[in-house]
Structure 1
Amino acid sequence: MDVFGYIASVFIGISLGIIGGGGSILTVPVLVYLFSIDAALATVYSLFIVGMTSLAGSVSYFKKGLINLKTALVFGIPSIAAVFLTRTYVVTAIPDEIFSLGNFIVTKNILLMLVFAVLMLFASFSMIKKCRGEDCFPSENHIVKNSAVIFQGVFVGFVTGLIGAGGGFLIIPALVNLLKLDIKKAIGTSLFIIALNSLFGFVVSLSHSEIDWIFILKILGLAIFGVFIGSRLSSKIDGKKLKPAFGWFVLVMGVYILIKEIFFQ
C-alpha cells in the first residue's frame, strides 16, 4: 500500500497546483488508509505536508503577481486565531473513547474520520455544482462582504485545526464570490492562506505529537514535486473543467470513508 500512498502524494500536490485546493482533503485519508497512520496523528502530519506544499506552490503565483497579500491577511488573521483555539482547546479535549452504540464504539479516530468524510461530501458538491452569471458572483454590500469573509476565515481555521485540511475548496469560492478576485489570483491567494493556517497549526501541535520527520519529508517532497507539475499545468489546463471531475473523486472517497468507519470497524 505504501507505493500507492507515494503515488497519491504526488497527486495531492498536482491538485493544489492546478485548482488551489482539493488535494489537501486527500492527505489525511492517504495517511490513514494507505500508510496506516493514527487518524489524530495524521491530522498533524497533514498540517505540515499541506502547509509546506502550499507554500511551495504559492511561490510561482507570487512571482506572477497572483497573490493578494492584503486579502490573505484579512482572511488569514481570523483563520489563524481559529486554528490556534481549535488545536489548543478543541482537539486536545476530545477523549479517546467518546461513546458507544451497542457494539459500535465511537473513538476519537473514528470521529475525526467521520467528520472528515462529511466535509468531503460537502466539498465535492461545491466542486461539482455549476453556476452561471449572478449565481457565481452574488452582489453584496461592503459590510456584508467583510463580515462574511471574517466568518469564512474563522470557519476555515476551525476546519484546518480540527482535521488538518487546508480548506481551499472553502477559501476560493469566498475570494471569488465575495471579493471578486480573478480565479488565478484566488488560487494563488488561497495557497498562501492555506500555508499560513496549516503551518501555524502544525507548530501549535508539536508539543504533544511525536513526528516521524523522515516519513513526512518523503511525502512532502513528492507533494511539492506534484504542486510544481500542477502549477505548470494550470497555465495550459482550465481548472474550472478539472474541478468537477475532482469533485466526483472526492465524493466517492467521502462515501468510502463513511462506509468503512461505520460498518467495517
Structure 2
Amino acid sequence: MEIFGYIAALLIGLSLGLTGSGGSILTVPILVYLMRLNPVISMAYSLFVVGTTSLVGSYKFYQKDLVSFRTAMVFGIPSLLTVFLTRRFIVPAIPEHIISIGSFDITKGLLLMILFAVLMIFASVSMIKKKKYAVAAEEAEDHSPNVPALLLQGVTVGLISGMVGAGGGFLIIPALVLFSKLDMRMAVGTSLLIISANSLFGFVGDIFNYDINWSFLLAFSALSVAGIFIGSALSHRIHSDKLKTGFGWFVLAMGIYIILKETLLQ
C-alpha cells in the first residue's frame, strides 16, 4: 500500500503544477489511508509537505512577477501567528478521548479527520463552481484593499490550517481577489506564498510536540515537489479549468468517503 502512497505524493505536486492549487487537500488522506499514519501526525507532516510544495510553486509565480509581497505580509502575519499557536498549544490540548456515545468513541483523531473531510467538501465546491467572486471584484467601484477583512480572514485561515494541516487556498484566493483587489493569477501566486509560510511556520510548532521521521518526510516531499515540475510542463497542453472541475468532484467524493469511513464503516 505504501508504494501507492509515494505515487500519490506525485499527484499532490502534479495538481499544483497544473492548476495552481488543490493538491494539498489530498495530503492528509494519502498519509492516513495509504501510508497508515496516525491522523494527528499526518496533519503535522502535511504542513511540511504542503509548505515545501507551495514554496516551489510560489517561486515559479514570482519569476513571472505574479506575487504581491505587500498583500502577503498583511494577510500572512495574523495567519502565521494563528497557525503557530494552534499547532503549538490548541491541537496538543485536545484530549485523545473526547466522549463516548453508546459504543461509539469520539477520539481526537476522529474529530480532526471529520473536520478535515468537511474542509474537503467546502474546498471541492470552490473548485467546481465558477469563480463569481472574481467578477464581483472587477465590478466593484472601490479598488482599495480592505485591510480589516484581510486581517480577519488571515486569522480564520491560520486557525483552519493549524487544526487540519491543509493549505486553505480555497479561502485565501477569494479573500485576495475580493478584499485586496488582486487579479486571479496574482492572487494564486500570492496565495501559494502565504500557504507556504503558514504551513512551514505551523510545522515549527509541531517539532516541539512530536518525533518527526525526517527521512520519510523529506522523501515524500521531494516526490510532491517533482510533481510540480511535471505538472508545469504539461500545463500548456491541458485545459486547467476543466481539470480543476474534475478534481473538485474527486475531492468531494473523497470528503464524503472519509466521513462515512470514520463514522459508519468502522
Q: Which moved more, 1:9-18 or 1:39-48?
A: 9-18
Instruction: Write the letter of the residue equivalent to 1:196.
Output: A
Aligned-partner Cα distance in 1 for 2:105–2:117: 18
Shift of 1:264: 2.2
Q: Are 1:137 and 1:178, in contact at CA under 8 Å, matched by a contact in 2?
A: no
Q: Which residue in 2 is equivalent to 1:164?
A: 165
1:115 has 2:126 as partner: no
Q: Which residue in 1 is equivalent to 2:197?
A: 196
Aligned-partner Cα distance in 1 for 2:184–2:48: 26
Q: Are 2:136 and 2:178, in contact at CA under 8 Å, matched by a contact in 1?
A: no
In the alignment, structure 1 segments of 5+ residues that lack a partner are none
Q: Which residue in 2 is equivalent to 1:21?
A: 21
Q: Which residue in 1 is equivalent to 2:219?
A: 218
Q: Which residue in 2 is equivalent to 1:261?
A: 262
Aligned-partner Cα distance in 1 for 2:175–2:63: 23
Instruction: Write the letter of the residue equivalent to 2:194.
Output: I
Aligned-partner Cα distance in 2 for 1:203–1:74: 21
Aligned-partner Cα distance in 2 for 1:251–1:138: 30
In the alignment, structure 2 segments of 5+ residues that lack a partner are none
- C-alpha distance 136-34 of structure 1, shift in aligned 2 (>3 A): farther
Instruction: Write the letter of the residue equivalent to 1:127.
Output: M
Shift of 1:56: 1.4
Paired residues for 1:20-169 under 5 Å: 20-131=20-131, 134-135=135-136, 137=138, 139=140, 141=142, 145-169=146-170
Shift of 1:187: 1.7
Shift of 1:248: 0.5
Task: Report SS of the residue matched to 2:208.
Answer: helix
Q: Which residue in 2 is equivalent to 1:180?
A: 181
Q: Report Cα offsets for 1:21-43 as digits up to 9, x if no partner.
A: 21111101100000000000001
Shift of 1:243: 2.0
- C-alpha distance 65-236 of structure 1, shift in aligned 2 (>3 A): farther
- C-alpha distance 247-214 of structure 1, shift in aligned 2 (>3 A): same
- C-alpha distance 15-259 of structure 1, shift in aligned 2 (>3 A): same
- C-alpha distance 52-175 of structure 1, shift in aligned 2 (>3 A): same
Aligned-partner Cα distance in 2 for 1:50–1:176: 22
Task: Report SS of the residue matched to 2:54.
Answer: helix
Q: Report Cα offsets for 1:65-114 as digits up to 9, x if no partner.
A: 11111111111111101112211221011000001111110000000100
Task: Report SS of the residue matched to 1:36.
Answer: coil
Q: Are 1:28 and 1:43, in contact at CA under 8 Å, matched by a contact in 2?
A: yes
Q: Are 1:20 and 1:168, in contact at CA under 8 Å, matched by a contact in 2?
A: no
Aligned-partner Cα distance in 2 for 1:124–1:112: 18
Aligned-partner Cα distance in 2 for 1:148–1:142: 14
Q: Which moved more, 1:110-119 or 1:87-96?
A: 87-96
TM-score normalised by length of structure 1: 0.93
Q: Are 1:21 and 1:167, in contact at CA under 8 Å, matched by a contact in 2?
A: no
Aligned-partner Cα distance in 1 for 2:244–2:94: 34
